Structures are given as C-alpha cells and as structure tokens.
Amino acid sequence: MTTSSSLTAPRYSRILGTGSYLPEQRLTNAELAAQLARDGVETSDEWIVERTGIRARHFAAPDQTSSDLALPAARAALQAAGVAAEEIDLIIVATSTPDMVFPSTACLLQQKLGVAGCAAFDVQAVCSGFVYGLTVADAMIKSGAASKALVIGAETFSRILDFKDRTTCVLFGDGAGAVVLGASETPGILASQLHADGRHVDILCTPGTVSGGQVLGHPLLKMDGQAVFKLAVGVLEKVARAVLEKAGRTDADIDWLIPHQANIRIMQGTAKKLKLPLEKLVVTVDQHGNTSAASIPLALDVAVRSGQIKKGETVMLEGVGGGFTWGAVLLDL
Ligand code: ACO
C-alpha cells in the first residue's frame, strides 16, 4: 500500500551488488610482444610498463561477443545483490564494441538472461560509458521510471585494434563489469556530472562505418595518445571537484578513487591533484589493460570482492574517453 510518507520520501539509488568477467585468454606484455614481433612490430614489456603501468590483458575468443562477456558479469552482480533477473526493470549496456549494428547489446543480453519486457538500451560514450550509464540509471530510478537496474560496461576492443600500430594495440583489453542499482531511501549515489566536447572527435576514434554492405573508412582504433593524455589529466580533476561540491563533500571524504583504467600515470596524477594518497587509488590497469567502458565496473568489482572496498565507504568513479567524453559519480557503497 502507498502511504503518504512513501509518496513524499526522497528516492535515491544504491549499488546492491557488483560482478565482472574476464575472457580466458590472458596475454602478458612479453607474450603480446612476441606475437607482434612475428609481424615485424617492435615493442617490449619495459616500454609498456614504464609508459602505462600495464602488465597483462585478456582477449575474447574469436566467437565471444560483448554480450557474451556481459552475461557472466551480470549474473555475478545479480547473485551478489540477491536479485533475480526477472526483478530487473532496466538494462543499460555501455559499449563501443557492440555485437551488431542493431539490436542493442542490451537487448541481446536481455535475451541471454532469459527475461523480457523491461527497458534495455546501449550507451555509447566510449571509456566514459559506464559513468554515463550509471548516471542515466540513477536519474531513471530517482524519477520512478525504474526500480532495479542492471548497468554494465562490456567491451571487445581487441576486435577494433590495429595490431600493426604499436602505439595503440598494447594498451587495450577485453572484459565486462556490472552493477545492480536499486531504489533506496538513502543514497547511494550522491552526485554525478557528465560532459562531452565533440571538437576533439579526431584525437580518439574508430571512424569506419557499415554502408551498402561494406565497411567504409578506417574500422580500427586511432589515437593521438599525447593529446588524450593532456585533456584527460585536466578534466578528471575538474569534474571530481565539481561532483564533490554538488554532493557537499570534500576530497578528504573520498575513501577510494576509481578512475578509468587507461594509464597509471594519468590515474596517479589525478589522485595527487585531489590530494589523495596513492593507497586510495584502485588499480587494475596492470592486469586488465584499458577495457574502455568495462574498466570502472571491473575495478569496482575486483576491489569489492577482495575486501579492499567495504560497505559504507565513499567511492569516486571517473570516466574519460573518446568523444571527447568525461564524467564522475560519487557514491556511498
Ligand atoms: N613500444 C615501444 N615503443 C613505442 C610503443 C610501443 N608499444 N609505442 C610508441 N613507442 C615509441 C614511439 O614510436 C616514440 O618513439 P620515438 O621517440 O622514436 O618517436 C616513443 O615510443 C614515445 O612515444 P609517445 O607517443 O611520445 O609516448 P608517450 O609517453 O606519450 O606514451 C601513451 C604513449 C602511453 C599512449 C600515452 O600517450 C597515453 O597513455 N595517452 C593516453 C591514452 C588514454 O588515456 N586513453 C584513454 C582513453 S581510451 C578510449 O577512450 C578508448
């Protein structure tokens, strides 16, 4: 029964459970370097570790799609939340490597979960995709449009890498991370903010498209690493401070910082600017590489399951990537 107090009580969203999945094939830098050398592409473990902090990444099997990676991540999050797939009324998949042009990866995942009827759609904001998806789900839950949402980042970036381009192919990996977000009388998500600046389309893009039954343009990832680096460092500090102000908190309130796992130097630079000791930085880039939209929920799940992040602690999530896009979400777990 609806009471007058439940009609007026503020409605928030809260993470009820997390999950993740990494495909079986794991390649260390040395193993990847040996493979690339066979095609005359020169790189080394030393270069990759020193410039990026990456030591290994996982690659999906040839027949594994992003929705295949999303499925075990979603199931693990549902189990951790104690929520049945049938209870979910919103599925958002953040991905830049969808299974198909359409239907959305979210609809394909919905089918694989064996449920039907709830809203399901993809969010395309490249490496900021999970932060975008979480913000949309939070808004839909707060408005009453949804009550229990699955928000997932799932990527098979190995499919769009140019393995002849050593400046990009050593950086990325495949994987998926998921959360179940549920309506709550207490937050949960404290504040968030999203941004984009389409003037920087060219510094990070995969500009190919399907047209007339053919691929037109360049269907592999291109990046001006130094331009991305400079932009990322600037916006990550700014958006974190804006979100803290919105939430009425300060940097001293952050227990854990989970930035997009792209490069350890960008991540450590952001922590320093926020005056956070490096022990408060969650790092999985060393083991996963850059998994784009999957990187933040993957890191969150690893940190929750290892006991690093505990219930009640305050976490800052920060995404940045192609578009150019960026954003942050501050939450109490
Ligand atoms: N192995 C060996 N040498 C290499 C490699 C490699 N894999 N890649 C580049 N080099 C060489 C270059 O050719 C260059 O050689 P030169 O001096 O003889 O010309 C030298 O190393 C230095 O190259 P830089 O590009 O200047 O290296 P930099 O220190 O800038 O590091 C990197 C490159 C790691 C890409 C860095 O710029 C970076 O991390 N940028 C940000 C990437 C990022 O954050 N992306 C996030 C968004 S991803 C998304 O949204 C999908």
Backbone angles phi, psi at 19, to 5 degrees: -155, 165
Looking at residue 247, what is its pLDDT? 98
**Shortest-distance atom of ligand 1 to CA 128:** 50
Looking at residue 272, what is its pLDDT? 95
Q: Which residues does the annotation mark as catalytic?
A: 127, 260, 290
Give the count of beta carbons closer than 10 Å to the beta carbon of residue 264: 19
Q: Which amino acid is present at 214? A: Q
For atom 47 of ligand 1, the residue with the nearest CA is 321
Note whether 46 and 112 are same-domain residues.
yes
Between strands 314-321 and 325-332, the pairing is antiparallel
Note whether 172 and 224 are same-domain residues.
no
Cβ of 263 less than 6 Å from ligand 1? yes
Looking at residue 8, what is its pLDDT? 65
State pLDDT tens for residues 13-57. 999 999 999 999 999 999 999 999 999 999 999 999 999 999 999
Residue with tokens 């190919």: 208
Instruction: Round to whole Å and give the CA distance between 165 and 240.
Output: 33
Distance 166 CA to ligand 1 centre (A): 8
Helix residue ranges per DSSP H, the chain: 4-8, 29-37, 45-52, 66-81, 105-113, 129-143, 166-169, 225-247, 264-273, 285-288, 295-305
73: left (phi over 0), alpha (psi -120 to 50) or beta: alpha
For atom 29 of ligand 1, the residue with the nearest CA is 51
State pLDDT tens for residues 142-157. 999 999 999 999 999 9
Q: What is the largest CA-CA distance in the chain?
A: 71
Cβ of 321 less than 6 Å from ligand 1? yes
Q: Is the pLDDT of residue 3 over 80?
A: no
How many domains, the chain?
2
Q: Is the pLDDT of residue 230 over 60?
A: yes
Note whether 27 and 103 are same-domain residues.
yes
Residue 177 pairs with which residues in a beta bridge?
20, 153
Q: 29-37 vs 45-52: helix axis angle to the nearest 10?
A: 130
For atom 12 of ligand 1, the residue with the nearest CA is 167
Note whether 113 and 240 are same-domain residues.
no
pLDDT band at 7 (very low <50, low <70, confident <90, very high): low
Is residue 5 in some structural domain? no
Q: Is the pLDDT of residue 86 over 70?
A: yes
pLDDT band at 9 (very low <50, low <70, confident <90, very high): confident
Note whether 177 and 233 are same-domain residues.
no
Note whether 135 and 264 are same-domain residues.
no
Looking at residue 202, what is its pLDDT? 96
Distance 54 CA to ligand 1 centre (A): 12
- Count of alpha carbons within 13 angstroms of residue 176, beta-carbon side: 35
Q: Which amino acid is present at 44? A: S
Closest CA to 300 of 19, 13, 21, 14: 19
Picking from 165, 184, 203, the residue at the C-terminal end of a domain is: 184
State pLDDT tens for residues 106-140. 999 999 999 999 999 999 999 999 999 999 999 99
Instruction: Round to whole Å and give the CA distance between 194 and 188.
Output: 18
Is 148 in contact with 13 (CB distance < 8 Å)? no
Looking at residue 69, what is its pLDDT? 98
State pLDDT tens for residues 158-210. 999 999 999 999 999 999 999 999 999 999 999 999 999 999 999 999 999 99
Looking at residue 10, what is its pLDDT? 82
Is residue 2 in some structural domain? no
Q: Is the pLDDT of residue 305 over 70?
A: yes
Looking at residue 87, what is its pLDDT? 98
Range of the domain at 246: 189-332
Picking from 161, 184, 207, the residue at the C-terminal end of a domain is: 184
CATH classification at residue 81: 3.40.47.10
Q: What is the DSSP letter of 290?
A: B
**Shortest-distance atom of ligand 1 to CA 226:** 37
**Shortest-distance atom of ligand 1 to CA 127:** 50
Distance 168 CA to ligand 1 centre (A): 7
State pLDDT tens for residues 64-85. 999 999 999 999 999 999 999 9
Is residue 7 in some structural domain? no
For atom 20 of ligand 1, the residue with the nearest CA is 167
Pocket test for ligand 1, best of 32, 50, 51 (most atoms within 8 A of CB): 51
Note whether 246 and 132 are same-domain residues.
no
Is residue 167 in some structural domain? yes
Cβ of 266 less than 6 Å from ligand 1? yes
Is residue 1 in some structural domain? no
Pocket test for ligand 1, best of 49, 195, 226 (most atoms within 8 A of CB): 226
Is residue 226 in some structural domain? yes
Instruction: Round to whole Å and give the CA distance between 235 and 249.
Output: 19
- Count of alpha carbons within 13 angstroms of residue 196, beta-carbon side: 12
Distance 58 CA to ligand 1 centre (A): 20
Q: Is the pLDDT of residue 4 over 80?
A: no
Q: Is the pLDDT of residue 1 over 70?
A: no
Note whether 21 and 152 are same-domain residues.
yes
Cβ of 166 less than 6 Å from ligand 1? yes
* Global pTM value: 0.96
